[in-house]
Chains A and B, each alone.
Chain A
Amino acid sequence: MTPDLSTELAGIPLRNPVLLASGTAGYGTEMLPFVQLEQLGGLVAKSLTLEPRTGNPPPRIAETPAGMLNAISLENVGVDAFLADKLPALPPHATLIASCFGTEPGLYARVCERLDAADGLAGIEINASCPHVKSGGIEFGQDPASLSELIRACRPATELPLLVKLSPNVTSIAEMARVCEGEGADGICLINAVQALMVDPETRRPVLANGLGGLSGPAILPIALRMVYQAAQAVSLPICGIGGIRSAADAVAFLLCGATAIQVGTANYANPSAAVEIRDGLADYCRRHGIAAVSELIGALRV
Chain B
Amino acid sequence: MRPETRPGHDAERRRVVGRVLDSGPFALRLEAPGFPAHAPGQFAMLQLDPGLERVDPLLPRPMAVYRREGDALEFRFRPVGRGTRIMGSLAPGEAVAVVGPLGRGFRLPEGAALLVGGGTGIASLYELARDSSGPLRVALGAATQAELLGLEDFRALDCELSVSTEDGSAGRKGRVTDGLGIRPGESVYACGPNGMLRAVAALAEEARAPCSVSLESTMACGFGICLGCVVPVRDGFRYLCTQGPVLDAGELCWEDLP
Contact = CB atoms under 8 A, between A and B. Distances in A.
B228 A60 contact: yes
Interface stretch (A114-122, A159-167, A263-271): A263-271
Interface string B17-47: 0000000000000000000000000000001
Contacts of A59: 217-218
Instruction: Please indicate which of the listed interface residues B50, B99, B220 has the most CB atoms of chain A within 10 Å of its own CB.
Output: B220
B231 interface: yes
Instruction: Please indicate which of the listed interface residues B55, B57, B58, B230 has the most CB atoms of chain A within 10 Å of its own CB.
Output: B58
B88 interface: no
A217 B231 CA distance: 24
A72 B226 contact: yes
Contact of B55 (A57, A58, A70, A246): A246
Contacts of A57: 230, 232, 237, 256
A60 B227 contact: yes
Contacts of B52: 246-247, 267, 270-271, 274
B224 interface: yes
B153 interface: no
A209 B220 CA distance: 16
Contacts of A218: 55, 58
A125 to B, nearest CB: 17
Given A63-B57, A68-B220, A270 B225 contact: no
Interface stretch (A28-36, A104-112, A126-134, A254-262): A28-36
A269 B256 contact: no
B239 to A, nearest CB: 10
A59 B228 CA distance: 8
B85 interface: no
Contacts of B49: 270
B205 interface: no
Contacts of B209: none
A62 B229 CA distance: 10
Interface of B: 12-15, 47, 49-50, 52, 55-60, 97, 99, 217-218, 220-221, 223-232, 236-237, 256
Interface of A: 23-26, 30-31, 33-34, 54-55, 57-63, 65-68, 70, 72, 75, 217-218, 246-247, 266-274
